Amino acid sequence: MIGVHRRKANEGFKIVLTCGRAVMSDYYNFSGLGFTSAVPNNILPSLIYNRFFPLKSDREGRMLEAQLGLCKIEAALLDYGFTREEVIISDPTKLKYTVSPKTKVVGIGVLDPLGLSYGSKVVKFVLRRFGLKCKKSIMSKTFENVIFDPAIRRYRPKIIVGGQGSWQIIDSNMQEKLGIDCIVEGEGEGVAGEIFEKAVHGENLPRIIRGNFVEANKVPVIRTPSRCGVIEITRGCGRQCLFCVPGLLPFRSFSKDRILEEIRLNLKAGIDQVSLQSDDALLYGSNGREPHPKALLDLLACIRALGVDEDRLGFEFFSIRSIMLNPKLVDDVSEMIGLHGHRYSVVEVGVETGSPRLLAKYMAGKVKPFNVSDWKDIVLSAAEILHSNNWRACYSLILGLPGETRDDVLQTLEIVDQLKTYNCVIVPIIFMPAGRLRKKGDFAFELMTEDRWELFFECIEHTLIKAPSFLKNNSLTKKIRNGIIRTLFYFGAMRMRRWRKSRDIIFNSPKRTIQRTALESPCGESGV
């Protein structure tokens, strides 16, 4: 499976796939640690953050487990005809061994390469309020370490970049400055073989290439185990919320056999946890509209039959509409993974807004077949179903959608006030132009009105208090770790509360123009 012989120094590989340390790491199987990659690298220097982001590779530099996107691209190249002797997913700290004169192309996966994501921006904003200077985020710094790695600069292979964050490089015109030959946007598996072959033969590459829809049975089965046991069970959503990238892609479910094959690979490598990746796991095996309970329950039964402990099996996302279309499926899934007594599981759920007007404008498909005017009741009923089945939900909201008014924000606040009665966290996401709204301009913190700040702080304060209860306490080390996190979060929440009370800190900064009345975001009412 994994190459074990040590190559001579500088022998290298023809194709090297890699990514920044903060993307590649398994975070000690505690994916929450990944969020610290948004912290500026001058606040957490490399001596410390390297400890947060461990890497597992063998002596020749091959990763023993890697980020799922890179595993898929590696598998696509192997299916295309390249051999394991030619292709490596490389430890980013061992590029001096894996990149050599023999290396024709380096493929780099990116999530937030320039620190432009919501998470990086919020962390910077908060730290600046504490009077701290903020340089680039750890995620951004570790990407830079790879792209400017001395071995890559010395041997000058072609550089291909792909992944969720590739838009940041395109939109900020940084491609030439970073020396990137080709950026792949969208699904990479369908184009990887051809584009890497061209690179290997020294042919010119297109500056930007669009990776199109890949049918479920053509998406390759991974050969390198996936970190944190992440396994993709569906892709795309197709409900076409205007701000969402998966929403543009048609919905597909992967076959049970392929999913089980990938889980077996992980188990063989000692990764005993399974995290089922999907934008709405309750739709597994369906036509993308209504849940197909038999397919999902059968999949779960087969996963359990492989010996996966119920405590080690989790989901990423459920949608509110699927919960409401089939509440019994939530009961059955909960029972199947043993959620009773003190046992709980965490799942992410998108609420996005409390405003029926914004729902109708940007995300009607998210609500169908229900009515947007019933959204508040639907959200709260779904929250009750999750809560009574021992799910701890992480609800997301979007602040600053183009054309958002004070009334819209107040309607969202109403939902938040009621959601807070459940053991949940609520994460406010500042609108970032993506999907069909990509060219619609960014929403800046300078445009936060008093109502938006109220909503923002209410969510963050609640989240800081509740989040530690989501952490598992099943060993002494975890109890100590969680105690430290709980204390830090508690002080963070108290600090937020003080900010809210002394509004001057937020609203009277000399650097910002504050508008206390309802504000339109840059796109205005006719933004879409």
Window 243-262: contact mask with ligand SF4 (x via CB under 6 A): -x-xx---------------
Of 61-69, 189-197, 238-246, 392-400, which segment contacts ligand SF4 by CB under 6 A? 238-246
Dihedral of CA 242/243/248/249: which sign? negative
User: According to the binding rule CB under 6 A, does residue 367 interact with ligand SF4?
Assistant: no
Identify the helix (H) or strand (E) that includes residue 350: strand 345-352
Dihedral of CA 442/463/282/165: which sign? positive
User: According to the binding rule CB under 6 A, does residue 398 interact with ligand SF4?
Assistant: no
- Closest approach, Cβ 191 to ligand SF4, in A, equals 23
Q: Kindly identify the residues of this chain, within the stretch 311-340, that bind ligand SF4 according to CB under 6 A.
A: 319
Q: For ligand SF4, which is the closer residue by CB, 223 or 252?
A: 252
Q: For ligand SF4, which is the closer residue by CB, 248 or 267?
A: 248
For the packed helices 293-305 and 256-268, what is the interaxial angle rounded to 10 degrees? Answer: 30
User: According to the binding rule CB under 6 A, does residue 372 interact with ligand SF4?
Assistant: no
Of 34-42, 209-217, 240-248, 408-416, which segment contacts ligand SF4 by CB under 6 A? 240-248
218 Cβ contact partners less than 8 Å away, ≥ 6 residues apart: 189, 190
Six-digit token string for 369: 């077949």
Of 91-99, 233-241, 439-447, 480-488, which segment contacts ligand SF4 by CB under 6 A? 233-241
Whether 217 and 253 have beta carbons less than 8 Å apart is answered as: no
User: According to the binding rule CB under 6 A, does residue 191 interact with ligand SF4?
Assistant: no
Q: For ligand SF4, which is the closer residue by CB, 260 or 364?
A: 364
Q: For ligand SF4, which is the closer residue by CB, 365 or 492?
A: 365
- Closest approach, Cβ 282 to ligand SF4, in A, equals 12
Distance CA 307, CA 296 (A): 17
Dihedral of CA 404/407/411/416: which sign? positive
Among residues 78, 75, 137, 150, the alpha carbon closest in space to that of 111 is found at 137
Whether 31 and 52 have beta carbons less than 8 Å apart is answered as: no
Q: For ligand SF4, which is the closer residue by CB, 53 or 362?
A: 362
Of 66-74, 121-129, 239-247, 426-434, which segment contacts ligand SF4 by CB under 6 A? 239-247
Q: For ligand SF4, which is the closer residue by CB, 250 or 307?
A: 250
- Closest approach, Cβ 240 to ligand SF4, in A, equals 6
Distance CA 6, CA 124 (A): 42
Give the one residue of 241, 320, 330, 459 binding ligand SF4; rule: CB under 6 A.
241
What is the residue type of 175?
Q
Among residues 276, 75, 64, the alpha carbon closest in space to that of 188 is found at 75
For ligand SF4, how many residues bind (rule: CB under 6 A)?
A: 12
Give the one residue of 21, 239, 440, 462 binding ligand SF4; rule: CB under 6 A.
239
Give the one residue of 66, 299, 363, 383 binding ligand SF4; rule: CB under 6 A.
363
Give the one residue of 361, 366, 440, 462 binding ligand SF4; rule: CB under 6 A.
366
Six-digit token string for 118: 């919501």
Give the one residue of 279, 408, 450, 461 binding ligand SF4; rule: CB under 6 A.
279
Q: For ligand SF4, which is the closer residue by CB, 390 or 396?
A: 396
Distance CA 291, CA 328 (A): 11
User: According to the binding rule CB under 6 A, does residue 361 interact with ligand SF4?
Assistant: no
Whether 280 and 315 have beta carbons less than 8 Å apart is answered as: no
Distance CA 341, CA 174 (A): 52
Alpha-helical regions (H) of 130-225: 138-147, 150-155, 166-171, 189-200
Beta pairing class for 158-162 and 230-232: unpaired
List of residues contacting ligand SF4 (CB under 6 A) = 237, 239-241, 244, 246-247, 279, 319, 350, 363, 366
